[in-house]
Structure 1
Amino acid sequence: MEPRGGANMHQSGTISIKRHENVLSDVELPPSKSHLIRWLLLAAQTEGKVRLSGVKGASDDSITMLKAIQQLGVNIDIESDSWTVHGVGPHGFQVPLNPIQANNSGTSFRLLGVALTRIGEPVIVDGDQSLRERFWHPFWDSLRVISKLENNSLPVTIKGPIVVRNITLDVSRTSQYLSALLLSMPALEKPIELSIEGSPVSQRHASLSFDLAALCGSENKLEKTILKPWNCQAPSNVEIPPDASHIAFWKLYENLHNCTLNIPTVNDEDALGAEILFNLDFKIKQKISLRDANDLITPLAASMAIGGGGEITNVAHARHKETNRIEKTVELLSYFSIKATATKDGLIVEGGQSPVKPSLKVPTFGDHRMQMTAVVLASKVGADIEGGELHRVSFPKFLDFFTHDVRSVHPND
């Protein structure tokens, strides 16, 4: 089991998609990589075995985390729909023989980067070009654990332990640095006091980290500014829920084809902000805040354009994803003759629009959610789309629903 992507393999290839003549009826969702990546780290720090179920069809990002945990000396039994992690406790990680490859996964890099500090020896971590461009050195500078860094980018050499007891944390870009600190507190001996700066974003993902940690013995609270060490003991059996953010693509499909799909159910508490999709009426003009669900911006903008239009707000942090998702959503949609306007913190979208078959190959900017939005739009009008493997970052089976419409994937296009 290997993620297809080191370097920039996800971005290679062109997908040629014809319009759907026979509309889909039953669709799937991948396992939630937000849950799975966090559970892998928690299970690895547990003394004993933890079985993670519901992992069939796991994303390349999740497999990247799995491989990295294995490199740290943690045995993991792989079955078709479960991974059983043989935890080594908070201090059982070994020095990896080779550099850790985080590929495209920002979550894996941030959680692993902090987790590696407990080893106390230099460890090299690298990623693909997209991840290299997303490296944000102020956080790592505050931890004082970077022993080698060139050009303020990956690869980076991390060497712990963490000795600072006061950290200034900017939560206006992402909540993942807070999650990274929390999930590695089992390996620390003393508390860390946080000075929080900026307006918090992606709070549902931060809450997820605190909720999962609580299931493993943590008494830390999201609203507190002190993180305390805790003894990590994960449940012996964990069920990974489906990834609700991908419902946005199937909602776009429904709006395009005027149909109703059988979409797997996701509980509100597992939806991580995507529950706003469950009761949206796309026919009316509306204003939607994506402060806690920035991953929805591109397919949601497309659905709003086809429907009643409106405005997407509170999503300035989407500029720091695989690409600037505000500006690039505007550009992507323009290839299908759909108009949207970027604002300081979101988009304004005119309603009542219809996609038109692009005359040029559609760029997807190395972003899997851009590629998947383009694929769904192309199911209505047809298109040639770059980034033949990008969907694998979060949903490896996604193109299976469009297989009969894929003419070719050119590995060197």
Structure 2
Amino acid sequence: MGGAWVKRWSPQGKGHSRSLVGALKVYPAQSLESLTWTLPPSKSHAIRLMALGAQAEQTVTLTGMTNAGDDAISMRRCLSQMGVQFEDLDAGGAILPSTPNADFLPHELASAWRIHGVGPHGFKHPVSVLHAGNSGTALRILMALSTRFNRPVMLDGDASLRARPHDSMTTTMAELGVSCSFGHLEEGLPLLAEGPWTQTESMTIDVSTSSQPVTSWMLASPASPAPIDVVYQGTPVSKRHADLTLRLCKEFGAPFGDALPERLEPWIPQPQHENIAVPKDMSLASFGFLAAKVLNIPIAFDEMPSHEEGLGHEILLEQAGALGFTVDGNTLQSNKEGQNVTLDLCDSNDLITPVAAMMALGEGGQITGAAHAAYKESNRITKTLEILQQFGLTCSVKEDGLDVPGNQTLSTPQSLVLTHDDHRLQMTALVLALGCNDAVTIQGDTLHCVADPQAVARFVDAGVPIESFLYQPE
């Protein structure tokens, strides 16, 4: 398989020359007067909808999938490996010709993905590794879905996903009688899971560091062998994402109430509509906000999701004035009227890095409620401090967030900007580099493709020189 996730996988060898790494050389954006910003489809919605559509007994078409990121494509690829057929449709609704490829990639002109559901028990045992790429959401959902097989299933991910903890899933899997074999040092992947999920009275789901485990088990419940009681452990975080899963399951006919279910039981997903529009990803609007601040130009979003579909990231619009922005429709402009503000990112911790950069260049502020950001692609609390420091900015690390002084000034990094295989660190660095006086070299030339394939192209198309090349680490 030759997807972008393969390029990012690199064992950390010691005692020998380090391998060449992909990098970006970003030059100052000196002539931009404005920029139109197109958001990609929400991977949170798309991944969940694919899991539900695959278990339905009819077809479901996801519209609005133009420029889908690698995370959504990874979920599609793994479902295809389990026998789920996808068709690609163009903007006019015509079926595009399928192109045989080892990665089950969508057609380059696809704007909609049609899923041919196989029912709760229709998955085929995958004959090769289910590689979730960089997507923790896809991986954990696939871990739960794999418990229905009575044969081993191998799951894996890229370097950053290998380094993330997965015990909140494997502990529950063990309760259900599923054996899991994996490394016990720095990497928890690859993982070999062997089911099936056996009938037990109850299961415990840890919700203290991520909403992904509860999402995974709700989405896997159609094939549960029998009703089972659910015990939740810890204080919930990222509640809006768990609520999204609950809402989508109910829209597909799940026997759930208005709160997270205390009991899971078998059911058959039945979508209310054949066509389902996937909203735009509000979390990625944060980089448009940061660009408006760094470049001091108006940014016009061609479409923004509703507040309900913002999954907590609508806090950007709610606090735009305090952060020093004027919003007129879908267009925003930086101003000097911001204030030192405290933002609780308990339900939107993906914003921590770009928001910290906005605060540093604005009037400063405090980020709270983001302790679980330490469990993302990198420890985004400490790595946000590191990325800011590389650009001459600073902040203080707190137990659950950051304290960011305001009115700071960008300076040009003198060495490779490290991004730790984290696309949100890379995209923050990309935007900050545009405001520097000299060229900046950033680790990771394709990291942004995880979520926003156009993150570099939108600036190149606007005339900003950005080069992709292989860098030799010292």
TM-score (normalizing by structure 2)? 0.84
Q: Which residue of 2 aligns with 1:25?
A: 35
Residue 42 of structure 1, aligned match among 29, 52, 66? 52
AA of the residue aligned to 1:233? Q
Q: Cα offset for 1:177?
A: 0.4
The equivalences for 1:120-139 within 5 A come to 120-139=150-169
Check if 1:315 corresponds to 2:352: no
Question: 2:300 — aligned with what?
Answer: 262
Question: Structure 2 CA distance, aligned partners of 1:405 and 1:9?
Answer: 29
Task: After TM superposition, give the deviation of residue 224 of structure 1 in Å.
Answer: 3.9
Flag the structure with higher helix content.
1
Q: Choose the corresponding residue for 2:267, options 230, 234, 251.
A: 230
Query: Does residue 438 of structure 2 align to residue 405 of structure 1?
Result: no
2:80 is matched with which residue: 45, 48, 70?
70
CA contact 1:6–1:101 (8 Å) conserved in 2 = no
Deviation larger for 123-132 or 342-351: 123-132
**Residue 443 of structure 2 corresponds to residue 386 of structure 1:** yes
**Percent of aligned pairs with the same amino acid:** 37
2:290 aligns to what? 252
Counterpart residue number, 2:399:
344
- Once residues 288 and 368 of structure 2 are traced to their aligned partners in structure 1, the CA distance between those partners, rounded to angstroms, is 22
Aligned residue runs from structure 1 range 28-107, under 5 A: 28-79=38-89, 80-107=110-137
1:326 corresponds in structure 2 to 381
Match of 2:241 among 198, 205, 211: 205
Q: Which secondary structure state, in structure 2, belongs to the residue aligned with residue 298 of structure 1? A: helix
TM-score by length of 1: 0.96
1:78-103 per-residue CA deviation (whole Å, 9 max, x = no partner) reads 23101111110000000112111111
Show structure 2 runs of 5+ residues with no match. 11-19, 90-109, 324-337
- Say if 1:146 and 1:156, in contact at 8 Å, map to a contact too: no
Q: Hey, what's the Cα distance between the residues in 2 that align with 1:108 and 1:191?
A: 24
Following TM superposition, by how much is the alpha carbon of 1:324 offset from its aligned partner in structure 2, in angstroms? 0.4
1:142, distance to aligned residue in structure 2 (A): 2.7
Task: Name the SS for the 2:448 alignment partner.
Answer: helix
1:170: Cα distance to partner?
1.7
Match 2:315 to one of 262, 276, 281: 276
Alpha-carbon distance between aligned partners in 2 of 1:362 and 1:75, rounded to the nearest angstrom: 41
Q: CA deviation at 1:123?
A: 0.9
Gaps of 5+ in 1: none
Matched ranges for 1:167-186 at <5 A: 167-186=203-222
**8 Å contact from structure 2 (residues 246, 260) kept in 1:** no
Question: Helix, strand or coil for the counterpart of 1:44?
Answer: helix
Aligned positions, number: 413
